[in-house]
Structure 1
């Protein structure tokens, strides 16, 4: 049976003039009737083309007072940033109000502290998608806005200068990765204290992976660029120096593909805030601890039990203990806190618990914290919606959300994070 041909899109008609009245949740301006137009701001008159609720910007007829010149030549095409055209103060205020609104939907109120805001040139990790290019250099960049097309980037103003400077070398590194037509590599790059760490995913493995010759080229190009390490889905392809980071006063060797906060400044701000909130504790649980982002700071206060689902992260954390004199005791375990959350009975001697889960949140662990006798809980979250859900569980059990630190480390995106402190 022959499939019917898809209907061609209906003609969009001539552009229409719209007045932008507000900002939508994804950073698009909103006109009357719920019409969304990207790259617009409240109070602006614009020409937009299209049908339905999503339109394309044709021209800004009357710019708002908060409009600024975007700093990136790729803005508007690259899908990475949505809000470079908005002045910083109203942009940040909008993010914080969105966060406040997300909590309010779960009937949560708290003291909001001044937001931590990352500046340009501070992001220490990015992921470049690579596509076949010239023989000596692949095309590499970010996905285009609302498309699978690739924007071949030359600069990235949100990123650390050393990462930006490495883009040409990363394109050279990617060139040997296309032996198989199904390969679609992504280069996950992290700036560490000992250099740039690159973990490459998306190289077709069913055909046997890269040939010995391609691996040799990858290693040679990594050496030319003085990268610290290059791994292929976690397998070492080149190692000059072990990638290391400082977490508090402790040096930790990073596993391949390990999670780090996007900016060092945000990590420091959150770490200091968490440690201050945990002051006076006698025993602390650090749940979803990763490689120890908060663990080592907390161990300066009290004995810590740390848990995370990634065995390699726990191994890195425990491996760093030898270089961590003067701390209270740290115990750690690899544990799936979704399938096997830390039970209320296991938390009997714990008076402070910290949790920093992935975007899905910590519903199962929050339920056990709610049942426990823990006096204070500190929640770190990259997803305000799941944080609010878990916070509701704690509040319903007798906790109070006292204060919130908004954290904006994904500059010029609609994304915002937070740290919240609960007490009984």
Structure 2
């Protein structure tokens, strides 16, 4: 047996001892022992627990891979997530003001991706186990909204109808105003009989929409999401914020940062999470790489009352970022890129810095890289709002306020 002292948590939430040796489900200051397997300690026994350790609220925690940090108290998790962002900034010599962390409540995740597999006796549905392809049943999950939990029985029926015995289905279930929106990948190829069976399942279960490999096979009612009271119907599998609480905090932050701007450019705009609420006070130009998401955004704007003009554009911002001449009239810019960040677009923003910039990020590492480039170009990093909408996970989201130096 190997005995180690946990010094810190890594970016994935695992404890890290000297070596480095990685020990899941541990906390800094704990002395533990286990079997050393490469760089990881297995069969771990806690010899000296941390004072921050608590009993996990969910009985599935140790076997399920959906959460990483239920064994730590809420204050510790909040401080750790701020620390992840702070250390990422320190790597580039940056510092700023951190606002108090906003954490989404339990049972509030409005979308989840279930794994479903046919078995000899029926079907198995749940999340993949920790560092495993094994499916773990989660009937008492403390993370998901009760409506999304209904997706477990839905995924079971879909597996019986459309899964092979050799592979598992991925069943993305999203709660909407019109009912559950279900999008499935990894299933049997669509043919006439399968289409009929899936349409029957959609009707019998009262789903809003059922998609198979991104093709809509049945729809009882368009799935509806509301961004500040403005209805949109996203395409199957479209990106949406994980919780209504997290979305509200990020939107509030973006509106604060862009307050007073009459013309705003929203980059990586998705279906209009920020563009549409912002259109109550400013003209918006929304840019997004997905034509389907832009179509949903445009439809939502056209069917809403009292909004200022919203123009939209389908564009791959990684290959074709907006150029300085396209940005010079903007009084504020919103950046909400995927995990890879927005280095190509940031390089163009640096040439003609709009007065205000709201950066929404799901990756502190690429955010810090882009923040350094923005600061070098003449921006000041005013503050950061860390948002923990992926409760009990190692995932960190944030909204950051940048102001061009010439208007400070």
Q: Report the TM-score when normalising by structure 2.
A: 0.94
Q: What is the 5 A alignment of 1:9-408? A: 15-134=1-120, 137-178=122-163, 180=164, 183-204=167-188, 209-408=189-388
1: CA distance, partners of 2:187 / 2:145:
26
Deviation at 1:134, TM superposition (A): 4.8
1: CA distance, partners of 2:175 / 2:232:
14
Cα-to-partner distance string for 1:280-310 (whole Å, 9 max, x where unaligned): 1121001110000000121122111111000
CA contact (8 A) 2:301 2:307 kept: no
CA contact (8 A) 1:249 1:296 kept: no
Aligned residues: 404
Name structure 1 gaps, 5 residues minimum.
Answer: 1-14
SS at match of 1:55: strand
Cα-to-partner distance string for 1:3-22 (whole Å, 9 max, x where unaligned): xxxxxxxxxxxx23333333
Deviation at 1:279, TM superposition (A): 0.7
CA contact (8 A) 1:184 1:202 kept: yes
Deviation at 1:43, TM superposition (A): 2.6
159-168 or 275-284, larger mean C-alpha shift: 159-168
CA contact (8 A) 1:378 1:421 kept: yes
1: CA distance, partners of 2:180 / 2:249:
23
Rg larger in structure = 1
Distance 1:373 1:34, change over 3 A: closer
Deviation at 1:214, TM superposition (A): 2.8
Deviation at 1:138, TM superposition (A): 2.1
**Alignment match, 1:3:** none
1: CA distance, partners of 2:375 / 2:161:
54
CA contact (8 A) 2:118 2:165 kept: no
CA contact (8 A) 1:200 1:233 kept: yes
SS at match of 1:371: coil
1: CA distance, partners of 2:328 / 2:8:
49
Cα-to-partner distance string for 1:23-82 (whole Å, 9 max, x where unaligned): 223212233443221111223232312244310143223322221111222212222211
2: CA distance, partners of 1:361 / 1:58:
36
137-146 or 392-401, larger mean C-alpha shift: 137-146
